[in-house]
Amino acid sequence: MTEPPYLGTLSIKPSVRILLLAPTPPPDQGGGEPRAIAKRPYLLPSTEVDVAYCPDAPESYHNALDVKRAIPLVVEHAIRAESNGYDAMLVACMMDPGVLEASRAVRMPVIGLGQATRQIAQLLGKRPEGIYPACIHVTELSDDSVDTYEKLVVAGKRKIRTRGSDVLIPECAYLGRLAPQLQADLGVPVIPNEDIGLKTTEMIAVFGLAREQAWVAADRSDRYSIGLTRFAATVHRALLRALRGLRG
């Protein structure tokens, strides 16, 4: 049986470079320059992944002020990464700080960890929910791995029982490594967020997908403005006719 002619004809890039940006200070007090990380078995052999940190970024993210502080740092890294030949960048934080702003500043794909994880979760169930271990600060998650895991199990069971959750999302990049064991213990899909984020970013990069060009966005904006102007003029004429009818 022959395949339909439209299958398998899309060409891909033979290799891609991805910057994995952790928008937090480096754990070893080093600088923010990219460094290679170990190969991940689920990535293509030709894919290169470097990790970079933001020395001046918040240590952890809790609110909009933390996110706002990181935005210019993430944008700066995206611009530098694109100029240095990277094909895509993954921002490794579930709050996606600076992802929207960086996407507007460069043409290469800039993917947020939370963004990618939640999109995949929507494919697996109808009621995805985030989970986080109660009463543990994000900087202390690795201090007692047993306690962290047990509290995650409790949080997961509560979401399944009280909210009918059928997919669970660890609400911190660090917790994604616990996903396989959590999935076995809880019986519902648990998204390994960082791994899913990297694979999603690679998929977008190898297919050569990129953000729309500026002239397309400008053209759409112009057409939208024209449409609004015409709509307003139509409403104005209708109101005038109605007023004339009332006076008559």
- Residue-wise pLDDT for 126-160, tens only, equals 999 999 999 998 888 889 999 999 999 999 999 99
Task: Name the pLDDT band for 233 (thresholds 50, 70, 90).
Answer: confident
Nearest residue to 23 (alpha-carbon basis) of 95, 130, 85: 95
For residue 31, the model assigns a pLDDT of 60
Q: CA 158, CA 162: separation in Å to the nearest integer? A: 6
CA-to-CA dists, residue 178 to 24, 149, 185, angstroms = 21, 8, 11
Cβ(104)–Cβ(75) below 8 Å: no
Sign of CA dihedral 19, 20, 23, 26: negative
Residues paired with 190 in a beta bridge? 168
Mean pLDDT of the chain: 87
For residue 246, the model assigns a pLDDT of 72
- Residue-wise pLDDT for 38-64, tens only, equals 889 999 999 999 999 998 888 888 888
CA 154 to chain centre: 26
Say which range, 40-49, 85-94, 236-245, has the weakest mean pLDDT.
Answer: 236-245
Nearest residue to 58 (alpha-carbon basis) of 88, 6, 98, 89: 98
Nearest residue to 43 (alpha-carbon basis) of 71, 78, 10, 17: 17
Nearest residue to 110 (alpha-carbon basis) of 142, 146, 80: 80
Cβ(112)–Cβ(200) below 8 Å: no
Q: 162 or 225, which is more confident?
A: 162
For residue 113, the model assigns a pLDDT of 96
Nearest residue to 130 (alpha-carbon basis) of 163, 91, 99, 98: 163
> Is 26 a residue whose pLDDT tops 80?
yes
Which 3 state secondary structure label does DSSP give 35? strand
Burial class (CB in 10 A: 0-12, 13-18, 19+), 147: middle
DSSP annotation string for 166-201:
SEEEESSGGGGGGHHHHHHHHSS-B--HHHHHHHHH
Query: Which residue segments constitute the domains of the chain, with CATH numbers given?
Result: 17-213 (3.40.50.12500)
> Is 205 a residue whose pLDDT tops 60?
yes
> Is 1 a residue whose pLDDT tops 60?
no
